[in-house]
Structure 1
Amino acid sequence: MKVAVIGGTGLIGSQVVTNLNASGHEAVPHSPSTGVDSVTGEGLAAAVADADVVVNLTNSPTFDAASADFFRTSMDNLVAACEKSGVRHVVILSIVGADQVPELDYYRAKVLQEDILKAGPIPYSIVRATQFMEFVEAVMSWTADGDTVRLPHTPVQPIAAADVARAVADVAVGDPLNGVLDIAGPDVLPLDELGRITLDAKGDGRAVVTDDGAGMFAAVRGDVLTAPTDARIAPTRYRDWLS
């Protein structure tokens, strides 16, 4: 099966390409560095030509209101190119609970991306993942100040990027879901506790202060970012990943 992976040189995309090729499929990575730009449309038609499946893993360069324009334009361009080329299955990666946090510009933009794909003419699959383990330190950096890191008590269920990539690759070569697959790691942890575990594992002497008004995830209410009951649970635990 020939799979075009748009955004195929990033954290998830590069692993999806590796996994697909290792299992005998022909996966080709595309990104601005290879001459493919989903926003301008440059190189997109050639990238999806003759592909059976297209996996779109492109991401907005910002998390603010401009992210909606990115996903709107890139998805409109991608759907049009895929329809013209006769692509039989389009896969995108989204976020567990994205539709439950309308206060966040980026989450609304991801829902917009999903809706454009759903409304299009091509069979599709949406893989929604929980927060990546690889991004925990970045989240902490947003509210770090001197010897403290302020984090809310928001429950999260982190998943390793490698587990995300395996799930996306599996979905790509399966029948279109015409729906959503939720994936998550095995551990539900409050974000402030996740920060303490991270600092302790790295021998970092900073203290985590619980502050339910701190950072992007302060807008999240309840446990909407954790896995629903029918989610696929990945095997990698956060403490094992840290070590």
Structure 2
Amino acid sequence: MKVVVIGGTGLIGSNVVARLGEHGHEAVAAAPSTGVNTLTGEGLREVLRGADAVVDVSNSPSFADEDVLAFFRTATGNLVEAAKATGVGHYVALSVVGSERAPDSGYLRAKVAQEQLIRASGLPFSLVLATQFFEFADGIADSATTDGVVILPDGAVQPVAAADVAALVARTSVGTPLNGVVEIGGPEVFGMDEWIRTVLAAREDARQVVTDPAARYFGTLLDGKTLIPGPGSLVGETSLVGWLAS
């Protein structure tokens, strides 16, 4: 199969491309650096011509509320139209577990808008919803740091290794369209504060992590289920300890 991976040079995309190639598929990494731009439409129809599936794992360069919403609306709209015009038979996109439960987060509202556009497109589709990646821990810590102290809520998270997510995205892209959702999280549930504290300790990062239940994650309050996958979700193989050791 020919699978075009939008965002194919990034963390997840490059992994998806590699996995598909290992299994004998023609995986094409598409990104602005390869001449494909979903915001302008440049190169989209050309790269999608003859593709069996398109995978969108791209992300907004800015996480400001208006910017990220404009990115996902524009990029997804252009990608949907190009996929229709070129006869792509399967549209796969990566989104975030719990986005619809966090309307106070501008980023997660934008992911909901992306999902809605795909559902309404009329194209056969699959949505892969993942929890927070282990790889995001350092960035979360940095964004929550004030005067050298990391302030985080204790709401539940079930972080997952990016490699486990990429494996699921790759499998999904060469399978039958779900016309629905598959969720994946890691094998363990932590408090957000506990997760980041563990990672910083392993990094020998001296910053103190202070728990504040009122602290917000990308603008939203967290409880015990906001970011947790629902019943029937898939579980990644990699534990936090295993990921840190690797």
SS in 2 for 1:28: strand
Q: Which residue of 2 aligns with 1:221?
A: 223
* Conserved 8 A contact 1:6-1:30: yes
Task: Give the AA of the match of 2:84.
Answer: E
Tell me the matched-pair count.
243
Kindly state the Cα deviation for residue 147 of structure 1 after the two structures are TM-superposed: 4.0
| Paired residues for 1:174-213 under 5 Å | 174-213=175-214
The residue aligned with 1:124 is: 125
Q: Who is 1:80 aligned against?
A: 81
| Paired residues of 1:8 and 1:16 also in contact (CA < 8 A) | yes
Question: Structure 1 CA distance, aligned partners of 2:145 and 2:70?
Answer: 30
Aligned partners of 1:83 and 1:147: how far apart in 2? 50
> Which residues in structure 2 correspond to 1:46-195 (within 5 Å)?
46-63=46-63, 64-195=65-196
**TM-score calculated relative to the size of structure 2:** 0.96
Using the TM superposition, name which of 58-67 and 168-177 deviates more. 58-67
Aligned-pair identity (%): 48
* Shift of residue 204, structure 1, vs aligned partner: 2.0
Unaligned runs of 5+ in 1: none
Q: Secondary structure at the residue paired with 2:55?
A: strand
Say if 2:156 and 2:222, in contact at 8 Å, map to a contact too: no
TM normalised by structure 1 equals: 0.97
Q: By how many angstroms is 1:146 displaced?
A: 4.0
Q: Gaps spanning 5+ residues in structure 2: where? A: none
Question: Counterpart of 2:231 in structure 1: which amino acid?
Answer: T
Give the secondary structure class of the aligned counterpart of 1:29.
Answer: strand
Contact 2:156–2:223 under 8 Å retained in 1 = no
Moved over 6 A (4+): none
Is the contact made by 1:65 and 1:106 (CA closer than 8 Å) also made in structure 2? Answer: no
State how far apart, in whole Å, the 1-side matches of 2:142 and 2:20 are: 34
Match of 1:240 in 2: 242
Report the CA distance shift for 1:138/1:215 in structure 2 as closer, same or farther (over 3 A): farther
* Contact preservation (8 Å) 1:143, 1:215: no
Question: In the aligned structure 2, how far is the partner of 1:241 from the partner of 1:42?
Answer: 38
Q: What CA deviation, in whole Å up to 9, does each residue of 1:63-103 have, x standing for no partner?
A: 22221111111111111111111110000000000111011
**Aligned-partner Cα distance in 1 for 2:57–2:148:** 36
What residue is the counterpart of 1:2 in the other structure?
2
Q: Return the letter of the residue paired with 1:94.
A: S
Deviation at 1:215, TM superposition (A): 4.1
Letter of the structure 2 residue corresponding to residue 168 of structure 1: V
- Over residues 157-203 of structure 1, what are the superposed CA-to-partner deviations in whole Å (9 max), with x where a residue is unaligned? 00011001000000000000000000010010001111221122122
